[in-house]
A and B are shown apart, each in its own frame.
Chain A
Amino acid sequence: MRVMAQLAMVMNLDKCIGCHTCSVTCKQAWTNRAGVEYVWFNNVETRPGQGYPRDYEDQERWRGGWVLGRRGRLKLRGGGRLRKLLTIFANPKLPGIDEYYEPWTYDYDTLTNSPLQRHPPVARPRSLISGENTKITWSANWDDDLGGAPDHGHLDPVLKGIEDKVRFEFEQTFMFYLPRICEHCLNPSCAASCPSGAIYKRSEDGIVLVDQDRCRGWRMCVSGCPYKKVYFNHRTGKAEKCTFCFPRVEVGIPTVCAETCVGRLRYIGLVLYDADRVSAAASTPDEKDLYEAQRRVFLDPEDPVVVREAERAGIPHDWVDAARRSPVHALISKYRLALPLHPEYRTMPMVWYIPPLSPVVDVVRDTGHDAEDRDNLFAAIDALRIPVEYLAGLFTAGDVRPVDAVLRKLAAMRSYMRDINLGRAPREAIAASVGMTGDQVRDMFRLLALAKYEERYVIPPAHAELAHGLEELATECSLDYEGGPGMGGWGPFGENSGGAPPIAVENFRMLRNRQTADTVAGPVDKENRVNLLNWDGKGHPEGLFPPRPAERPGGGDPAGEVEPRP
């Protein structure tokens, strides 16, 4: 057993309202530069739909991910090493800019500069690629909210095989939103496709990153990733991808997409897994067993053997503790609500999804039945094969049984909690019908519906900052510790003088303090600083000493209610 820790995410699709806030904030944070105008590390797709880039799930066409070879061994669907090298001069499977979309801006200048004329001036769209006037014909969200679905809804690759039934049912359409980021797979085919070896998986937290200094722009990763979540920066000639906001999670704050999610549908936490079993699990012969196989790779952090092995593998104790409290572990392994996206690609993805019950609920309610009654919902799950089969096509390689089980749990929770909310006696039989106890259902409800900040995001900070602290003691102002009077990075000539401030750790600690403080950032905080020149050494002025453990919010009473943070 070789225990490794992986930072993973679960998204509860029932709560996604498709507002694209995650996409916009991610873009502002990471891809608001020239060369990556067309890139969305995070995007939200309407399903059924073609997705972004168009049609990316059709692996017959794009040949991403892994397949089993004749002797049952994993091989890249796009071809082995030699084939990659022979096609290195022109990648045969690279999506063109049209498959994403041609990014554009508007010629706003004419609005203010045009002379007086009879007709108001128009800001024409201008391509950001060629600089010419352009016609907008496609974008990352062209089929948002099923827009244009009668025309090209059937082009969704997941509908293959059930498109007849869906067309029949389309008058009573179903839809839901699917936010996507890089899956940070356990068996990443982008990394395996990279000829330069520039894409690597961090051994501490499993985040998959591109080394910008080693990437040589061969573009094989773009083809190798079946989720098409590695992008080519056409200005720098380097591959770029979602970083899981590593500068943020290293100091224990959630990714930008998760932090800004208004539906609070994202959960971030650690999963411990056995690295020795990954390739065996990925080589499971029947692709419908891949979901189960991947779940069995995960380890139970309560198991003393696992804890001992984790310690042997050098995983710090607080990380094991965080893995125990991890909401991701709970949703995947304890409640078994979360399912992986397209396990049939055999990359062992690590961003999982709780399939939405809403397509079922909507139908029950629209037909005039009680949509919170267990029997109605169960019957509907059995009867409504189209949404269920579609969900199975996304999350379990077409096996409807796990999806059925998840939807039944969600339905049971819905009707069990309805009784409680109406002040009636809870019916244990409802919980028992999905193999749970009432307490478990209530815990699940708390995690899914209340979704407190501290319970959604259990992110242990990385341990490197301790070493850096040592370095700072020796090399910088000794009052420049967190919350100390010297904090704020003064140099000898005022606020911004001196050397370059270190990235990541310190900056983001400050950022977190600012974000979680009650006061507006900046001036208010400065007034509270203690002037050491006239401090007489008595008492404990506020802000001079770090808070004691017992005084920290939430530190003393883990069971207590904690204020939701902004």
Chain B
Amino acid sequence: MNAWDVLLWVAVPYASIAVFIVGHVWRYRYDKFGWTTRSSQLYESRLLRLGSPLFHFGILLVALGHVGGLLVPKSWTEAVGVSDTAYHVVAVGLGALAGLCTLVGAAILVYRRRTVGPVFSATTRNDKVMYVLLLGTILLGLGTTVLGNLTDQPHDYRETVSPWFRSIFYFQPDPDLMAAAPLGFRLHALAAWALFAFWPFSRLVHVFSLPLGYLTRPYIVYRSRDQHLGNRAPRRGWERVR
């Protein structure tokens, strides 16, 4: 265990997670107005209708796959009788499909962003950084999986990456596990930590607004006039009678 390993596989993850959590709390408290999808559908609809669902459903599937691969220990799947080969076939099959959807969707969206004038001019520097981090992470992940499976001996990340990832959350980080993983996985993980650290300050916050409450709330929302009178909070002792 050398200092680099500790820095990359212990310090960076914890820093990134801290920024991710605190950043979201901060953003939600101080920038609710900026918390939006910043949709550009008004400018262009044809390409978006194709690319956006492809990308979004694809990446949701990818996220689900990561939950399965990283959080579920190998011993659990073995305990319910899933063989290594079966797991591998399913993971690679679904993963490749989801990854392909994501990549094609992202390619359409990036093409659209670059070629449709109004969309391009509405792209901020923040968006560009976000795109680089997001696409970089996706490409590194997809590339590692595809290249790994083209060789005869694909790396079993469930022996290295997954236990290391879980060890972070037990607060007993084991950087040696990750240091042993192939370069592709390490780069993918680093890109992901960078993405998570940038996440709360980008438009990606809209992920946490997935409006599942819509399924259960009544259609029409009634609200009373603002409790605040004027633009100040009521002084202590002068709150309204309820």
- Nearest-neighbour CB distance to chain B for A554, whole angstroms, equals 27
Q: How far is the CA of A234 from the CA of B132 in the complex (A)?
A: 23
Contact, CB under 8 Å: B43 / A129: yes
Among the interface residues B49, B214, B215, B234, which one has the most CB atoms of the partner chain A within 10 A?
B214
Is A216 close to B, CB under 8 A? yes
Is A433 close to B, CB under 8 A? no
Set of chain A residues within 8 Å of B35, measured between Cβ atoms: 213, 216
Is A215 close to B, CB under 8 A? yes
Contact, CB under 8 Å: B219 / A470: no
Contact, CB under 8 Å: A90 / B52: yes
Set of chain B residues within 8 Å of A200, measured between Cβ atoms: 221-223
Instruction: Give the residue name and chain of the B residue nearest to A502 (CB).
Output: B230
Q: Which of B206-242 contact A (CB under 8 A)?
A: 206, 209, 211-215, 217, 219-225, 229-232, 234-235, 237-238, 240
Q: How far is the CA of A504 from the CA of B230 in the complex (A)?
A: 7
- Nearest-neighbour CB distance to chain A for B100, whole angstroms, equals 17
Is B41 close to A, CB under 8 A? yes
The contact of B36 among A203, A216, A467, A506, by CB within 8 Å, is A216
Q: How far is the CA of A566 from the CA of B171 in the complex (A)?
A: 72
Is A272 close to B, CB under 8 A? no
Is A495 close to B, CB under 8 A? no
- Nearest-neighbour CB distance to chain A for B132, whole angstroms, equals 21
Set of chain A residues within 8 Å of B222, measured between Cβ atoms: 200-203
Instruction: Give the residue name and chain of the A residue nearest to B40 (CB).
Output: A234
Contact, CB under 8 Å: B39 / A203: no
Is A175 close to B, CB under 8 A? no
**B-facing mask of A431-446, CB < 8 A → 1, else 0?**
0000000000000000
Contact, CB under 8 Å: A236 / B33: yes
- Nearest-neighbour CB distance to chain A for B110, whole angstroms, equals 16
- Nearest-neighbour CB distance to chain A for B68, whole angstroms, equals 23
Set of chain A residues within 8 Å of B38, measured between Cβ atoms: 217, 237
Instruction: Give the residue name and chain of the B residue nearest to A503 (CB).
Output: B231
Contact, CB under 8 Å: A90 / B225: no
Contact, CB under 8 Å: A94 / B229: no
Is A338 close to B, CB under 8 A? no
Is B57 close to A, CB under 8 A? yes
Contact, CB under 8 Å: B217 / A212: no
Is B48 close to A, CB under 8 A? yes
Set of chain A residues within 8 Å of B53, measured between Cβ atoms: 87, 89-90
- Nearest-neighbour CB distance to chain B for A21, whole angstroms, equals 28
Q: How far is the CA of A132 from the CA of B215 in the complex (A)?
A: 43
Q: How far is the CA of A217 from the CA of B36 in the complex (A)?
A: 6
Is B73 close to A, CB under 8 A? no
Set of chain B residues within 8 Å of A504, measured between Cβ atoms: 230
Instruction: Give the residue name and chain of the B residue nearest to A474 (CB).
Output: B238
Is B154 close to A, CB under 8 A? no
Q: How far is the CA of A187 from the CA of B102 in the complex (A)?
A: 39
The contact of B230 among A88, A203, A503, by CB within 8 Å, is A503
The contact of A203 among B55, B224, B234, by CB within 8 Å, is B224
Binding stretch for chain B, among A77-85, A409-417, A482-490: A77-85
Set of chain A residues within 8 Å of B223, measured between Cβ atoms: 200-203, 211
Is B118 close to A, CB under 8 A? yes
Binding stretch for chain B, among A190-198, A515-523, A533-541: A190-198
Q: How far is the CA of A217 from the CA of B42 in the complex (A)?
A: 11
Set of chain A residues within 8 Å of B32, measured between Cβ atoms: 213-214
Give 30 pairs: A residue, B residue, CB < 8 Å, sorted on A: A85-B212, A87-B53, A89-B52, A89-B55, A92-B49, A94-B45, A129-B43, A130-B121, A131-B117, A191-B220, A192-B220, A195-B211, A195-B214, A196-B209, A196-B211, A197-B213, A197-B221, A199-B221, A201-B221, A213-B32, A216-B209, A218-B37, A218-B39, A234-B122, A236-B33, A237-B39, A474-B237, A502-B231, A505-B229, A506-B230
Extra A-B contacts (17), CB below 8 Å, given A196-B214, A217-B37, A474-B237:
A89-B52, A90-B49, A90-B53, A91-B41, A94-B45, A130-B118, A196-B209, A203-B223, A217-B36, A218-B37, A250-B225, A464-B225, A467-B240, A471-B234, A471-B235, A502-B231, A503-B231
The 5 closest A-B pairs by CB, nearest first: A502-B230, A195-B211, A192-B219, A237-B36, A213-B32
